[in-house]
């Protein structure tokens, strides 16, 4: 019989807990639900500075110890896994405290930090205390994105990758620098990370995980500011030897939330995003004699992406010594470095 790993959670908010009750989302959709759903994990403690939220979490997770401060949790309750799911502005403080407690694994909600300077502090502390860090860039664990990466070789030489994020949240606001309450870092970290994921799959080069060289020195355009000076639109373009055109576009003027990646090769196209996944291949055209056109192909889509469940399973497999972490502190830092270069053009 396999032993269970104990876990504690810091942050009982949306991603920490309550998104697990969203009936429209694929479940599990929060750290609490994902931890509880894995038979190899025993969640034994929770922490939140909001006492009302903590008590509600405690009632839903009977038998767990409750703490109003992370410091008290770490001093009184040592667990194999510590999950940090707090707001961006509290990441560095709580994560550093968790690392000093030396759990066997730290699961850190994205982004890894507000900036690369803070991220480097985390990296140094993690290495000094020999604490591995798993970052919840969820699409790296999703079955649909994994399948999309497997199809990359079938659509020919990659000509372009266009990644887009649409929401009503400001793309960048200098006054929110200390909180991270802007989409460039809040959701943009997911967008950049999944582009890096596809580029890693294309190049299969271990050096891609060593730093930001994979995407650097962007050509930034399409900057649009509102009447208060907050950035509401931006696009960053890159040219790589393997992919001539990589574009990352973020809009904060939209009345909807949209997330998509459009990959075009010489023989086909992959279009994937929130709620859709389509693959097109070059076929004899039904529109023009002597030409070829793209036609959508049929393929077996995963019924569930298992994005959160697979992240937690990766944690278990890692602790078992069966697998490497699929989303590391370094890959998270790589995404942050790309975002910081874009941000520099907006300041």
Phi, psi for residue 229 in degrees, rounded to 5: 90, 0
210 confidence band (pLDDT: 50, 70, 90): low
**Structural fold of domain 140-307+336-344:** Dihydrodipicolinate Reductase; domain 2 (3.30.360)
Q: What confidence score (pLDDT) does residue 242 get?
A: 86
Is a pLDDT exceeding 90 seen at residue 65?
Answer: yes
Burial class (CB in 10 A: 0-12, 13-18, 19+), 241: exposed
Single pTM value for the model: 0.95
CATH of 5-131, one of 3.40.50.2000, 3.50.50.60, 3.40.50.720, 3.20.20.140: 3.40.50.720
Q: What confidence score (pLDDT) does residue 211 get?
A: 47
Strand, coil or helix: 235: strand
Is a pLDDT exceeding 50 seen at residue 202?
Answer: yes
pLDDT in tens, 304-344: 999 999 999 999 999 999 999 999 999 999 999 999 999 99
207 confidence band (pLDDT: 50, 70, 90): very low
Q: What confidence score (pLDDT) does residue 213 get?
A: 52
Domain ranges of the chain: 5-131, 140-307+336-344
Q: Please give the average per-residue pLDDT across 82-108, as a whole number.
A: 96
| Residues 142-147: contacts with CB under 8 Å, at least 24 apart | 142/305, 142/306, 142/307, 142/310, 143/302, 143/304, 143/305, 143/306, 143/307, 143/310, 144/272, 144/277, 144/301, 144/302, 144/305, 145/194, 145/197, 145/272, 145/305, 147/277, 147/301, 147/302
Two domains, one topology: 5-131 and 140-307+336-344: no
Q: How far apart are CA 53 and CA 66, in angstroms?
A: 11
Q: Residue 84 has what DSSP assignment? A: E
Q: Please give the average per-residue pLDDT across 200-224, as a whole number.
A: 75
Q: What confidence score (pLDDT) does residue 206 get?
A: 45
């Amino acid at each position: 019989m396999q032993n269970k790993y104990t876990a504690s959670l810091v942050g009982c908010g949306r991603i920490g807990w309550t998104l697990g009750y969203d009936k429209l989302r694929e479940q599990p959709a929060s750290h609490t639900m994902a931890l509880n759903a894995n038979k190899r994990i025993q969640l034994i403690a929770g922490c939140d500075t909001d006492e009302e939220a903590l008590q509600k979490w405690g009632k839903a997770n009977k038998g767990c110890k409750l703490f109003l401060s992370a410091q008290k949790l770490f001093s009184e309750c040592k667990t194999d896994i510590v999950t940090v799911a707090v707001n961006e502005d509290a990441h560095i403080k709580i994560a550093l405290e968790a690392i000093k407690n030396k759990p066997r694994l730290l699961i850190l909600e994205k982004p890894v930090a507000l900036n690369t300077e803070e991220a480097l502090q985390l990296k140094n502390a993690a290495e000094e205390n020999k604490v591995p860090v798993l970052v919840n860039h969820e699409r790296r664990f999703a079955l649909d994105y994994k399948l999309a990466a497997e199809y990359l070789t079938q659509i020919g030489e990659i000509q372009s990758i266009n990644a887009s994020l649409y929401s009503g949240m400001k793309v960048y606001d200098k006054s929110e620098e200390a909180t991270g309450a802007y989409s460039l870092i809040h959701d943009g970290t997911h967008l950049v990370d999944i582009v890096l994921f596809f580029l890693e799959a294309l190049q299969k080069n271990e050096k891609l995980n060593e730093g930001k060289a994979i995407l650097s020195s962007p050509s930034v355009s399409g900057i649009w500011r509102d009447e208060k000076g907050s950035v509401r639109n931006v696009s960053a373009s890159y040219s790589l030897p393997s992919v001539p055109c990589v574009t990352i576009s973020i809009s904060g003027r939209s009345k909807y939330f949209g997330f998509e990646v459009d990959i075009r090769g010489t023989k086909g196209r992959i279009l994937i995003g929130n709620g859709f996944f389509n693959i097109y291949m070059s076929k004899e055209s039904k529109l023009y004699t002597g030409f070829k056109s793209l036609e959508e192909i049929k393929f077996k889509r995963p019924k569930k992406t298992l994005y959160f469940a697979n992240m937690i399973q990766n944690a278990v497999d890692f602790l078992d010594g069966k697998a490497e972490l699929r989303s590391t502190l370094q890959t998270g830092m790589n995404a942050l470095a790309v975002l910081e270069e874009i941000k520099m053009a907006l300041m």
